[in-house]
Chains A and B, each alone.
Chain A
Amino acid sequence: MGRFMSAPDKPTLPEEELDHIPGSEPSTRMDAWWWLVALVVGFIALLLIFKPDPFWNILQFVQDGIVITVTVTLISFVLMLGIGMIGGLGRLSTNRVIYTISTLYVELVRGIPLLVQLIAWYFAVPVIIQYMGKATGSPALEGFQADPIVLAVIGLVFCYGAYMSEIYRAGIQSIPKGQMEAARSLGMTYFQAMRHVVLPQAFRVILPPIGNEFIALLKDSSLVSVVAVADLTRRGREYSSMHFNPIEVWLLVALLYLVMTLFSARVVNWIEKKTRFER
């Protein structure tokens, strides 16, 4: 009902009003659920102010972990957007080889737990590379040392790329066939039509599920704590085992994750509203 009560900020020309479609205007009102973000932030602030020991100390200790968590999540997210697009296009390819490879990728990766994949990337892959170094007599490969963060990002992207591929595929398939036909009959190549006509529309369709994936990725990034990445979860565990105060540590870590996920959900919601369009 708020929509009918609040007048638009900008003065609109009569011409625009004639063509006005209800619900098509980007909402200028504050999304009501921001208060939940504020509530959690407020709660954390209260803990820090009134119980600086241990909460302020914990925050000091885990802050570099927050940076790692955010960095790993953002880098993985950007990369998986690309992998997902390639995978999604592959799943729609009429080329049998490309279709089979991308389908195998999606089906196999979806069937293995992310934790198992991350452990395999960190513990098994470097050993395989070292074996290969031995076999080929290459000292560079033989002495291969894994960077935990790089392998964690690869593991996350490899796994989430598969889920992303399916989201892209569904999004592209949801665009009416006539859009591709119209673009092709104007002389565009398949890739030109994809890039300029189909994908921009598909992207708006898949924005909500992509947003969900981002939030899921943010949470699942805590799994990298088992493969030697000093993220928020791992830093929390370190502090907790040093000071034996699990209740306070995990309360604060949980709240910090909650702030990040709730905030992300609001941003996704805002982007969705901005890019909404009429068919």
Chain B
Amino acid sequence: MADPIIHIEKVYKYFGRVQALRGVSLDIAHGEVVVIVGPSGSGKSTLLRCINRLETYEKGSITVDGIPLDGNRNINAVRREVGMVFQSFNLFSHLTVMDNLMLAQRVVRNRSKEEARQTAIGLLNKVGIPDKADNKPAQLSGGQQQRVAIARALAMNPEVMLFDEPTSALDPEMIKEVLEVMLALAREGMTMVVVSHEMGFTRAAAKRVIFMDEGQILEEAPPDILFNSPKHERTKQFLSKILSH
């Protein structure tokens, strides 16, 4: 890989005595969509959260867009370039949708009110809920909240978007509307790292699927290869459980 936007090298992480990550190395190219799958506790969310330093790690190094993740200054610089979408949406519950989208633009990017508002309106149109700008998050459905959360992250013009099980907290009928937004984003060439077991999205958008187990990357391949002919026994076991239904 010529010039990866995310470079993860031999990262180790412990939660007390539990090893969450055991020497994970991974390169992700500009515009690549990577989906991470694996059983719960395999370290996939932890790895994702290490990329924008929501989790610290004990050993190894991560570089994002040429900025090494060390020191507070660099961490904030990386976070400005990396958007994050959470399983539980985490919209700012005291603010309207519009203010959710404008806050970081104003505070972090120092944009004018008007510029921030225009960006927000454009993104709400993009995620398909322009009419909810003045609502509070609690007045929105889960699917709408997650689309606002995506728009909020996009408002910062990130180079990379991280998705931590974005549809796991959603009712089945709301999953589709979120995946459609993500799919559109992937088609636009956004670099995306997604922790998810949504097979439809993975097949349609992912260039690579990464299978993690017990804090390690066991195997990685394009989706059709990994899903149809996995190499490891552990991968086969896991896939048989999630692909059967």
- Interfacial chain B residues near A21, Cβ < 8 Å: 138-139
Task: Report Cα–Cα, A21/B93, bound state, in Å.
Answer: 15
Give the B interface residue count (CB, 8 A): 27
Interface residues of A in 179-221 (CB under 8 A from B): 179, 181-189, 192, 196-197, 200-201, 204
Task: Report Cα–Cα, A102/B84, bound state, in Å.
Answer: 34
Q: Let me know if B80 and A187 touch, CB within 8 A.
A: yes
Q: Let me know if B92 and A197 touch, CB within 8 A.
A: yes
Q: Let me know if B156 and A184 touch, CB within 8 A.
A: no
CB distance from A149 to the nearest CB of B (A): 38
The reply to whether the CB of A178 lies closer than 8 angstroms to some CB of chain B is: yes
Interface residues of A in 199-248 (CB under 8 A from B): 200-201, 204
Task: Report Cα–Cα, A186/B101, bound state, in Å.
Answer: 10
- Interfacial chain A residues near B83, Cβ < 8 Å: 185-186
Q: Let me know if B139 and A278 touch, CB within 8 A.
A: yes
The reply to whether the CB of B25 lies closer than 8 angstroms to some CB of chain A is: no
Q: Let me know if A184 and B79 touch, CB within 8 A.
A: yes
Contact of B104 among A176, A179, A186, A200 (CB under 8 A): A186
CB distance from A277 to the nearest CB of B (A): 6
Contact of A187 among B54, B86, B108, B139 (CB under 8 A): B108
The reply to whether the CB of A29 lies closer than 8 angstroms to some CB of chain B is: no
Task: Report Cα–Cα, A181/B84, bound state, in Å.
Answer: 9
- Interfacial chain A residues near B149, Cβ < 8 Å: 182
The reply to whether the CB of B52 lies closer than 8 angstroms to some CB of chain A is: yes
Residue positions of B touching A, CB distance < 8 A: 52, 54, 76, 79-80, 82-84, 86, 88, 90-94, 103-104, 107-108, 135-136, 138-139, 149, 152-153, 156
Residue positions of A touching B, CB distance < 8 A: 19, 21, 176, 178-179, 181-189, 192, 196-197, 200-201, 204, 277-279
